[in-house]
Structure 1
Amino acid sequence: MNSIYEFLKNLNDEKNLKKCQLLVVNDDRQAQIASDIVSFLGFKAFTLADFRANFGDDLLSFSTELQDITKALNDFYSYKKENKILISPIRTISFAMPKQSCFDSFEISFADSLNIEELKNKLYNWGYYFVDIVTSESEVSIRGDIIDICPLGSEVGYRISLFDDEVESIRKFDIEDQKSFKEEIESFKITPAFLALSQEKLEEINEEIEKVESDAFIKDIHSLGFWYLDELGEYLPSKLNSYITQEALEELDEVYVFEDKRINKDKFLTLPQIYRAKNYQEVAPANLKEFLTFHEDKKVTIISSSEAKVKAFDLDLSNKDINYVFDSFIINLVGNNEVIISLNKEIKKRRKKRIKLVLDELQNGDFVVHEKHGIGQYQGIEPVVVMGAKRDFVVITYAGDDKLLLPVENIDLIDRYVADGSSYAVVDKLGKGSFAKLKEKVKDKLFAIANDIIKIAAARELVNGIKINTQKKILEDFALSSGFTYTKDQKRSIKEIFEDLSSGRVMDRLLSGDVGFGKTEVAMNAILAVVLDGFQALFVCPTTLLASQHYYSMKKRFDAFGIKMAKLDSKTSTKEKNRIKKDLQEGTLQLVVGTHSIIGVKTKNLALVIIDEEHKFGVKQKEKLKELREDVHIFSMSATPIPRTLNLALSKLKGMSSLLTPPSERLGVRTYVKEYSDKLIKEIVLREKRRGGQLFYVHNNIASIEAKKADILELLPNIKVEIIHSKIKPADAEKIIDKFENKEFDILLATSIVESGLHLPNANSIIIDGADRFGIADLHQLRGRVGRSDKEGFCYYVVEDKKKITNDAIKRLVALESNSYLGSGTALAHQDLEIRGGGNIIGEAQSGHIKQIGYGLYLKMLEDALSTLSGETKEKSKTVDIKLAISAYISSDYIHEDRVRLELYRRLSKCQSKDEVYVIEEEMEDRFSKPDTPTKQFLDLIIIKILAIAKAIKTVSSYEMNITFVKADDTKETIKSPSKDDDDIIATTLTYLRK
């Protein structure tokens, strides 16, 4: 930092701005520091991403970095003033970069005439992805006279509405929920998503790529194009006035570890160097006011993102001796004549938002659960002509080739079938009534569980809780001593726990959040608050492995605060166990971390019990823990998210907190899709070994897992491999995991049993065999096993033969690899996880009932049971059978993509009021233009359904001009329409229902 500042300040003082156009630094962190200094000194900074690929790598998993590089270079070249500096990490700039001629931009303005075919070709040549729905930058969707596009670098999309070929309106839209903003705009700019290539040049590069030997799953411009720019590329350090820092030169050997198509190493050695600073040094003052008194004779600059921050540091804004700069820079330097101090904290790169819109990804053949008929297989949506009118029906097959045709307006009666990962659905028999009996059995079981939950909650309400003082200054110090900034979710959860602990009521709170999202840190704040008030705490985990992990991480944090703690599990010797139990009873131990060995211990003044992975404990075990002392505070933690509706039902009985944002220091997991080859497996394993790491190898077949181990050992005789799967005894499995954590072997070969609960920071590569046979939620979960430390994780989805897998499987895998379309995929994965989380919360995750009726229906029934027993009157869901002779369906001419139509059918079928339908109709008009006749009539059909249910009508049917309504009490009424035309039948029906 100090050397760059001194060098650039001298350039600035000499007014020699053109002397440095490119600044080469060692990594992205140094690039950010350099960018702050460059901007602070009045230059215009453009920063390239740290591109850590090796020549020939499949670049889909580097798409974010490539997009950032494209955007930065485009901005650099289009900025016409001289005071600009391009900043690059050495790994990035050691490759040829695209020339200035590869960049361009164009505007689309109100009233422009657009040639759609020309626009399509241009966007394709410029590297844009054509998709059904635009959910991230570099994507475009053309639907008739509506064009959606999200240009590279934009956080919002732009929706163009055409009248014939003329731009009638342009509005921004939110890529999370697809809704456009009200205000129209005049114009917007489109820059290349990759490069501004001509059709001929693109074809030339694609031909070159086709000849290349590569293990890229799909060989195209996006996966390999950057490597084959040839005459379109140039070595920027030779082209621009370039300087290199000494730290970057020291990084050279690291950069050239791999044989690579990079700039000759010697070329960097000939670049002018930025030597270590003579007149400046970096500082980190502990006491700012005191520090400033030592430098009163110097020019003082304070950088702050806001005036409020200045006041928080007790500095005087009116002090003329201090130059205040309000910006986000982080520069802390002291020189011979000046001092620069920043009050800002480092902010990590923003993460991509999770898409709110869940697209229905039901595939033909997927299992679904119908509320009345049970488990069947979804076979798609088919148009059927009934009484001369066309309607869409969902086709579901049951045992014995029986078929159920479900009208799309009632699609809310089915749900995707989700059970635990190892369950395979068994289809039911239509019309046997066996599913109804099964549901009754499950209902009884659920009422018993719900009853227990409510009884315990009610009993605890009557007890006075231990009141804990949570206002101590030392608790703030503890948060600061963590070495990282808490996420907003962590801060909120700690606040909620502290409110519970200090309220005088007994706390019963559940915290849900993915592994690695900082649940333990939240729990430690609660432990410290309790211990500082003179009480004891117990921390219970389901396995000895987790107990060990938690014990050592807590000991590290708590030693400085003088907390006496111990670990109690099946590995603890009898002598040690007796000592721990005695110390707990006498009160000399303040915290014990352990497994269910803790259940039944006697304590002197226990105030808090924390249950980790609480879904792994049975209801009875949890109740025994609560019996340790009736006024004890209970804090449970779960690694699966809880569905919103169940969250609401349970929140009346217990406190609910959730961690949804990952810690800022977590790196993303680099993902690749590959076809199996021995060479590939060897390379992956050796690459991870070179950096001192271990691997998971997921092979989801117990019968052939030993043969897979033999294959790996034949390939890599010096590698140590251990196997784990569900048929191995829990005690043995725990020993294997322990050995893995202690780095006694290299590869943990496992079934999908490793999907959740393991936190092994040294295992940072995962190979998933037969990835095409996993659902997107499972692939998403498995990928989450790696990248849990500050090391980058690598995930390899491996398929046996890419020619033999379906297009849908290819789409899903490539989507996970590039993250470009992950919006709906990740949202869908989370939806599955939420459903599972809801099942887990009851402690009945292994119940056969869930397997028989699926998690979704199980949760619905549990919510109903909780509501009923809590005294809430929840209206029973009513249905109506509509047999009107009208053509009503979302037309494929209006919306081409089946999954988008399915999603809209699902949302419309769940509407319970006319207003909800009108909101969706408005959104459809915004996204797809005015609905055509059959689509408009389907929207009317949904209104008819809602009005008929409100009037307790169970059937609405028509024959010729007669419309018949059958009420719940079986009374009938028939009215006449002016004609048998669709619009007359609809208008007459609506008039009757609105009376």
Structure 2
Amino acid sequence: FLGGDRWAKVSARARRAAEEYAARILRVEAERRARAGHAFAPDTDWQREFEDAFLYEETADQAAAIEETRRDMESPRPMDRLICGDVGFGKTEVALRAAFKAVMDGKQVAVLAPTTVLAQQHERTFRERMADYPVRVDLLSRFRSKGCQTRTLRAAAEGAVDILIGTHRLLQPDVRFKNLGLVVVDEEQRFGVKHKERFKEAFLGVDVLTLSATPIPRTLYLALMGARDISTIETAPANRLPVETTVAAYDERLIRDIIVREVARGGQVFFLHNRIGSIQRVRDRLAELAPGTRIAIGHGQMPEAELEEVMMRFVAGEIDVLVATTIIESGLDIPRANTIIIDRADRFGLADLYQLRGRVGRSQRKAYAWLLLPRHLMIEADARKRVSAIRQYSDLGAGFKVAMRDLEIRGAGNLLGAEQSGHAAAVGFELYCRLLKEAVARLKGERIAPRVEARVRLDFLPVSEDAANGGVGAFLPRAWIPDARQRIEAYRHLAEATDAADLDQLAARWKDRFGRRPQPVEWLLGL
């Protein structure tokens, strides 16, 4: 396949798609640069007072993201900054400070969230944080009555609302602002490609601050460097403990013990069951297992007022166990919820599990995530191995390490859109990113090193361990790099080396990581 006509056609298609996509993102960027935006005034005394009221010490990454956002806002060019950071690492505080700055300069702010529940949480956070200042915060939500929504729309159009929070309802034609200056898009990866295109069209001359918990693979980050300003927050807040993750067989006695232990220490439990048809049965069984425990259900098909009431009671600590679907995935912040039990964890992707686990451990208390599998799957190596992978990423900030192949392609889909991620899957994520980076550089008029397509035929030197059969060859020995995935990564890095300096760096990195290089590796590097 790699040497044939089919590969040539696929790679040519991907190259054309990368050129078109690069042209499009640079055109949008050029339009943004060409339009005169609003240069916000320097910080006021109130701004400094507002920032000093933050209860925690800013991490270095968070402080840098805040400063970069401030600099963007004070520039006459419309801001388009992506804040990429792990769950609970303080992205919302960056948005709060930017929103306050915009309001202090007489502008309105729109905050978009992917779910109604998350929009409500933002409304509470913004109201509490700005309670001491003359800032009017309002919510446009499907949970609000028709009359209430009409009043909110009128107030936004008249400039009476300073900060309007809502879901993609804010993108509807009947939503108008008198003097919009800043748009904050939270959990960007949860919005569809069409909605993102709407953002770009609707807010072309307005400052846009985007928050995303899905890590951007470094290669895509570099490819997009020419088109987007990106800040990353990788440092954990002080005193934050990693979530202890356990993979176990489904066992009712274990579930009972987990719930009783968490409730006894004054905490709350998420029980994730992603089947609406059987969720009531599961709730009733948990009530039998842990009598006296306050248990409620939450899912997206409940009547709106009922779901809102359940979530409010859970936030207020009136519910001990919330049996819920993945509606809890998006950005919910409930510090007393420090245990999550995920039923049928094998049905979730690695990125989903990582996001779900991030719902707990947002306070300074030790948090626990239990990933439950049916007993028969515990002996099936593949299923258990896939779920066990999440345990490797208990480190804080590990969202940036969950850059395994499936997440890299998913990340490409989130950022590039469905069509582009298809091309990325066809030729490989790394190659697609290289093509995209080259296309961006070419369109910006920068000089790029030509890429040489080479085909090597060696009839005198085996280039695989099996072909060498214990003799001389050029390959990475299994004894030197036992892990198959690491071996594939090493071959990939070798393929990406473009000059002698790259090879020297790679050779030094291999020696540092795997020890003294055996002869087959020296032969391979010398080819």
2:240 pairs with one of 653, 659, 666: 666
Aligned residues of 1:767 and 1:795 also touching (Cα < 8 A): yes
Is 1:682 aligned with 2:256?
yes
Q: Which residue matches 2:81?
A: 509
* Counterpart amino acid of residue 829 in structure 1: V
CA pair 573-662 structure 1, distance change in 2 beyond 3 A: same
1:486 pairs with one of 58, 83, 90: 58
Q: Which residue matches 1:336?
A: none
Aligned 1:209-358 pairs, distance under 5 A: none
Matches of 2:379 and 2:331, distance apart in 1: 30
Is 1:882 aligned with 2:457?
yes
Matches of 2:114 and 2:281, distance apart in 1: 31
Q: Which residue matches 2:297?
A: 722
Cα deviation, 1:54-85, whole Å, max 9, x if unaligned, reads: xxxxxxxxxxxxxxxxxxxxxxxxxxxxxxxx
Aligned 1:440-451 pairs, distance under 5 A: 450-451=22-23
Q: Which residue matches 1:829?
A: 402
Cα deviation, 1:147-170, whole Å, max 9, x if unaligned, reads: xxxxxxxxxxxxxxxxxxxxxxxx
Q: Which residue matches 1:577?
A: 149
Matches of 1:549 and 1:662, distance apart in 2: 22
Q: Which residue matches 1:319?
A: none
Q: Which residue matches 2:125?
A: 553
Q: Which residue matches 2:216?
A: 642
Which 10-residue stretch deviates more, 910-919 or 898-907? 898-907
Matches of 2:443 and 2:207, distance apart in 1: 24
Is 1:538 aligned with 2:124?
no
1:914 pairs with one of 462, 476, 500: 500
- Deviation at residue 637 of structure 1 after TM alignment: 1.6
CA pair 662-846 structure 1, distance change in 2 beyond 3 A: farther
TM-score, normalised relative to structure 1: 0.45
SS of corresponding position for 1:890: coil
Matches of 1:737 and 1:853, distance apart in 2: 45
Q: Percent identity?
A: 36
SS of corresponding position for 1:658: strand
2:97 pairs with one of 506, 510, 525: 525
CA pair 737-888 structure 1, distance change in 2 beyond 3 A: farther
Matches of 1:551 and 1:803, distance apart in 2: 42
Matches of 2:331 and 2:280, distance apart in 1: 24
Aligned residues of 1:615 and 1:845 also touching (Cα < 8 A): no
Cα deviation, 1:610-665, whole Å, max 9, x if unaligned, reads: 22223334455445555557532122222212222322332322321121112224
* Counterpart amino acid of residue 742 in structure 1: R
Aligned residues of 1:541 and 1:613 also touching (Cα < 8 A): yes
Matches of 1:695 and 1:702, distance apart in 2: 19
- Deviation at residue 914 of structure 1 after TM alignment: 2.2
Matches of 1:864 and 1:452, distance apart in 2: 14
CA pair 857-721 structure 1, distance change in 2 beyond 3 A: farther
Matches of 1:867 and 1:544, distance apart in 2: 40
1:935 pairs with one of 511, 521, 527: 521
Matches of 2:219 and 2:189, distance apart in 1: 18
Q: Which residue matches 1:233?
A: none
Q: Which residue matches 2:184?
A: 610
Aligned 1:30-49 pairs, distance under 5 A: none
Is 1:891 aligned with 2:464?
no
1:653 pairs with one of 215, 219, 227: 227
SS of corresponding position for 1:509: strand
Aligned residues of 1:772 and 1:805 also touching (Cα < 8 A): no
* Counterpart amino acid of residue 921 in structure 1: A
SS of corresponding position for 1:460: helix
Cα deviation, 1:300-350, whole Å, max 9, x if unaligned, reads: xxxxxxxxxxxxxxxxxxxxxxxxxxxxxxxxxxxxxxxxxxxxxxxxxxx
- Deviation at residue 549 of structure 1 after TM alignment: 0.7
Matches of 2:92 and 2:503, distance apart in 1: 44
- Deviation at residue 555 of structure 1 after TM alignment: 0.8
Larger-gyration structure (1/2): 1
SS of corresponding position for 1:531: helix
- Structure with greater helix share of residues: 2
Q: Which residue matches 1:208?
A: none
1:694 pairs with one of 260, 264, 268: 268
Equivalences, count: 508
- Structure with greater strand share of residues: 1
Matches of 1:861 and 1:712, distance apart in 2: 53
Aligned residues of 1:700 and 1:750 also touching (Cα < 8 A): yes
Is 1:794 aligned with 2:368?
yes
Aligned 1:17-96 pairs, distance under 5 A: none
Matches of 2:10 and 2:282, distance apart in 1: 40
* Counterpart amino acid of residue 73 in structure 2: L
- Deviation at residue 522 of structure 1 after TM alignment: 0.6
- Deviation at residue 548 of structure 1 after TM alignment: 0.9
Is 1:472 aligned with 2:58?
no
Matches of 2:165 and 2:352, distance apart in 1: 31
Aligned residues of 1:643 and 1:834 also touching (Cα < 8 A): yes
Matches of 2:419 and 2:337, distance apart in 1: 27
SS of corresponding position for 2:62: helix
Unaligned runs of 5+ in 1: 1-371, 374-405, 407-430, 945-995
Matches of 2:161 and 2:515, distance apart in 1: 69
Matches of 1:549 and 1:519, distance apart in 2: 14
TM-score, normalised relative to structure 2: 0.80
SS of corresponding position for 2:457: strand
SS of corresponding position for 2:122: helix
2:163 pairs with one of 591, 602, 609: 591
CA pair 860-767 structure 1, distance change in 2 beyond 3 A: farther
Matches of 2:159 and 2:179, distance apart in 1: 7
Matches of 1:663 and 1:823, distance apart in 2: 9
Aligned 1:836-847 pairs, distance under 5 A: 836-842=410-416, 844=418
Aligned residues of 2:393 and 2:401 also touching (Cα < 8 A): no
Q: Which residue matches 1:358?
A: none
Unaligned runs of 5+ in 2: 462-472
CA pair 477-665 structure 1, distance change in 2 beyond 3 A: farther
SS of corresponding position for 1:592: strand
